[in-house]
Amino acid sequence: MAGQTFAQKVIARTIGRDQVQVGDYVTVSADYTVCQELFWPSHKANLERIGVDRIPRPDKAVMVIDHSTSAAMGSHHCETHRTLRDWCGVQGIENFFGPGSGLRHLVMTERGFARPGLLIFSDEGNIASIGAVGALNIPISTEVLVSLISDENWLAVPPSARITLDGSLPFGVTARDLIQTIIRDFGTTDRLLGCCVEFAGPAIAGLSLDDRQTILASLFHSGAYTGVMPVDAVARAYVEARAAGRPYHVTEADPDAAYVLEARYDLGALTPMVTRPPDLHGAVAVGEVAGQRIDQATIGSCSGNRIDDMRATAEILRGRKVARHVTLYITPGSREVYSAAAREGLLEVFSDAGATVLAPGCTTCWGYQGQLNDHEVLISTQQFNYQGRNGSRLAEVYLAGPYAVAAAAVAGQIIDPREMLAP
């Protein structure tokens, strides 16, 4: 019998078995279930309809207000904020994080909920970013309600794929450029469909924990179900600083584990990438779209809001000004990132350049702030670029890494960011 993959081992541990097989349907009790507020009105209605007064494991619930970080006059989100906060109080859920706390992805890692070998139910595939510390995200959308009210849910053991990374990122190239390349290569195929992708290879040692989260946060656009990075000394040190004595289980795939696909990337061969609208798989080298005029630039979202992204943005903006016809919004991913950016003087750099810094959260990514008018053009580190994502269906959204977005904000058009970076 073939060895077990990472996903098989984590799921087997959760249900008290030595092994599980790909395709097995099993009922599991996740270590945590994490939710955000946008689905809360329907969750609340369903709880009332079926008569659920108490959840059995409030200690396993992590509730985060991270999309509607503020509630403007006339918005229904103020009511959502209040009812979710009140419900958590009634249920005894201590792991409630209100507006401005940051995205669930970072709350889970920074607060030590995501730990090696743990299985976590979430409402979005991009929370695969917690795989950077060896936790397994299982995205179950609105079925997180089932996990909350019964402390269990079923899942099918996923197949696994392995992507090996060699080399190191060249000058002016970021982890975002890698994941955009992977999405380009696999996004229109079914080769990674439903897979847990295990990343491996010597290049990972040269990637920061932020880099690893950036790659995993966008992995679901390739068709993958979830993903994970190896727990090396970098990841282990991060976890130890935040676990507060809570248990974890460093888990590795067996040497003879079976994969449905294996691929390899040389990071040294990568170049700055920009994804053309409206297709997520439309990544091209930045030179192919250079000269495209922009009206707005945004740096944030779960694919570009960590401290490394803030530092990269400051590299471009320091001593420069945002073009007069461009609006630049910058959203730190969490209070921890916001505080770190403040300590390092990055917020001053952003302000001096003419950027607007927003409260930690999703903000511009889902169009809650920074909406576009007809025929306006946005370049962003966000996740999506489909028509209407950020306002008008006649607007266009280009996707790129923090270097390219910041450089475009200064130039007023898309350019190769390496032109503005000191060697």
Least confident of 1-10, 64-73, 195-204, 413-422: 64-73
Q: Which of 58, 258, 240 has the alpha carbon at shortest distance from 134?
A: 240
- Residues of the chain above pLDDT 90, percent: 89
Does 50 fall in a domain? Answer: yes
* Residue 161 maps to a domain: yes
Say how far apart CA 23 and CA 3 lie, in whole Å: 15
| 328 backbone φψ class: left, alpha, beta (φ>0; ψ -120 to 50) | beta
Is the same domain home to 232 and 363?
A: no
Residues 220, 296 share a domain: no
The pLDDT of 205-215, averaged and rounded, is 97
**Could you tell me if 311 and 285 lie in one domain?**
yes
Q: Which of 289, 275, 124, 292 is nearest to 185 (CA)?
A: 275
pLDDT at residue 363, as a whole number: 85
Give residue 334's pLDDT.
96
**Do 310 and 381 meet the contact criterion of CB atoms below 8 Å apart?**
no
* Residue at a domain's end among 207, 239, 265: 265
Q: Are residues 237 and 325 in the same domain?
A: no
Q: State mean pLDDT over 312-335.
A: 97
DSSP at 207 = S
Residue type at position 13: R
**Residues forming a β-bridge with 34:** 62, 122
Mean pLDDT value across residues 387-409: 96
**Is 165 within a domain?**
yes
The two counts, helices (H) then strands (E), for the chain are 12, 18
Q: Are 97 and 360 in contact (CB under 8 A)?
A: no
Q: Hey, which bits of 303-358 come out as E strands?
A: 327-330, 356-357
Adjacent-strand bridge partners of 166: 266
- pLDDT confidence of residue 310: 98
User: Are 88 and 46 contained in the same domain?
Assistant: yes
Q: Which pLDDT belongs to residue 76?
A: 82
Identify whether residues 12 and 130 lie together within a single domain: yes
pLDDT at 74: 66
Chain position carrying tokens 């979710």 = 84
> Which tens digits make up the pLDDT trace of 54-69?
999 999 999 999 888 8
pLDDT at 415: 98
Summarize pLDDT for 122-135 with one digit per residue, the tens: 999 899 999 999 99
Cβ neighbours, 10 Å, residue 6: 26
Torsion region of 223: left, alpha or beta (phi above 0 gives left; psi -120 to 50 gives alpha): left
Tell me which residue of 213, 240, 248 sits closest to 228, measured CA to CA. 213
Residue 421 lies in a domain: no
Distance from first CA to last CA of the chain, Å, rounded?
A: 52
In terms of domains, do 47 and 169 share one? yes
- 44 and 118 together in one domain: yes
Per residue in 135-157, pLDDT (tens digit) is 999 999 888 999 999 999 999 99
User: Each residue of 14-44: pLDDT tens digit?
Assistant: 999 999 999 999 999 999 999 999 888 899 8
What residue numbers bound the domain in which 388 lies? 274-416
Q: What pLDDT does 301 receive?
A: 93
Where is pLDDT greater, at 253 or 361?
A: 253
How far apart CA 70 and CA 383 sit, in angstroms, is: 21
Q: Which amino acid is at 90?
A: V
CATH number for the domain harbouring residue 104: 3.30.499.10
239 and 278 inside one domain: no
pLDDT recorded at residue 289:
98
Closest C-alpha among 33, 26, 257, 24 to residue 161: 257
Residues 312 and 257 in one domain: no
The token pair at 196 is 């847990």
- What are the structure tokens assigned to 39, written together? 């689905």
Mean pLDDT of the chain: 95
Tell me the percentage of the chain whose pLDDT exceeds 70. 99
Q: Are residues 44 and 130 in the same domain?
A: yes
* 423 inside domain: no
Pinpoint the alpha helices (H) of 364-415: 402-411
Q: Could you tell me the pTM of the whole model?
A: 0.96
Number of domains in the chain: 2
The reply to whether 47 and 193 lie within a common domain is yes
